[in-house]
Amino acid sequence: MTASTDPHFAGDSLRARFRHSDADVRRVLLREATDFGDDYQDLFVAACRDAAVFVRLEAVRALEGNAAPEAVAALIASLTDDSNDVRLAAAESLAQIRDSAAGAALVESLAAAHGFARAAILAALRNLRRPEAESLAIDALADPLAIVRREAIGVLAYLRSALAVPHLAARVTDDDNPQVRRAAVGALAFANPEQAQQALLAALHDSEWQVREEAAVTLEKLRPPAAVDGLITAMADEHWQVRLKAAAALGRIGDARAIGALAGAITHAIPNLRREAVNALGAIASPDAVPVLRAASCDSDIEVRKAAARALKAIKGER
């Protein structure tokens, strides 16, 4: 029996019924209240302090995207809830706010926030595109918590902040957390190639292969000619995933100096890497690659053979 069908509640308002001692009843009432939207905002705000975790969870979800000052304050407070589920839901609800009026409260709360809450507030400011978000995110790159630094990098990438490029480059080489370094490498994809290439080339030698892989991906997007030597070296990486991305980057840059390194990948055990090397040779379109591509046209993998046929046609100038 739900609260709406229990005769004990007949004639009472939904707010009065919410004082029921049964937490399951209170949760059901919150769900009923969501049908009335902002009419029950005060109930949702109050329920963020409910004794029952699943009631608080329902409440913060009901406040998703709500930019009213009381709602924003309740969601910010919920970022420090004892329950991880409630904290995550509060962060998601804050991130859905699209009304810039909520920005001032978020900015004000950031300085006093702790840990996960700082990351969540930064995410909300990112989506609001608040003018303060850029400087706040740059400052947050020095935060002691990796989760906050990663979120700050996300903000700066989303805003395509030119001012942040030197700070992001510093995270690539100096941060002690590989996930932060990887995020910073990816964020440099919007940067001027000349500004980013030194940090990205350094990242090709990072101790973590995922960072090296991300560096090759970003270099493929930026295509700086100065990266060719570093990418050729990356073609000997112990992880084939790094070699695959390096091959793609070399194909995009199109420098014939890469032919030898790409040819060395044609016999690798992983078909995807062989295919990417063949594609890169086709993109470079040098006659010097023809013998290698002819050998690849007999590959045991049909996709490699198809790629070799396309590459040979590209070199001959055929469609």
d(CA 144, CA 120): 15
d(CA 288, CA 281): 9
Cβ atoms of 225 and 255 within 8 Å: the answer is: yes
Nearest CA to 81 out of 46, 44, 116 is that of: 116
Q: What pLDDT does residue 145 have?
A: 94
What is the pLDDT tens value at each position of the chain, 319 positions in all?
344 444 344 334 778 888 888 989 889 988 888 888 778 889 999 999 999 999 999 999 999 988 899 999 999 899 889 998 999 899 888 888 888 778 888 888 888 888 888 888 888 888 887 788 899 999 999 999 999 999 999 999 999 989 999 999 999 999 999 999 999 999 999 999 999 999 999 999 999 999 999 999 999 999 999 999 999 999 999 999 999 999 999 999 999 999 999 999 999 999 999 999 999 999 999 999 999 999 999 999 999 999 999 999 988 875 4
pLDDT of residue 300: 96
178 CB-near residues (< 8 Å, 6+ apart): 206, 207, 208, 210, 211
pLDDT at 318: 58
- Which pLDDT does position 319 carry in this prediction? 46
pLDDT of residue 152: 95
- Please, is 305 exposed, middle or buried when counting C-beta atoms within 10 Å of its C-beta (0-12, 13-18, 19+)? middle
What is the dotted CATH code of the domain comprising 1-127? 1.25.10.10
How many residues are present in the chain? Answer: 319
Q: What is 224-319's CATH superfamily?
A: Leucine-rich Repeat Variant (1.25.10.10)
Distance between CA atoms of residues 134 and 157, nearest Å: 10
Question: 212 with 206: CB under 8 angstroms?
Answer: yes
**Same fold for the domain at 1-127 and the one at 131-222?**
yes
Tokens of 75: 């969601």
pTM beyond 0.85, yes or no: no
Rounded to whole angstroms, the Cα distance separating 234 from 253 reads 15
Domain residue ranges in the chain: 1-127, 131-222, 224-319
A 10 A CB-CB count for 98 gives: 11
Give the fold, CATH level 3, of 131-222: Leucine-rich Repeat Variant (1.25.10)
> Residue 221: what pLDDT?
96
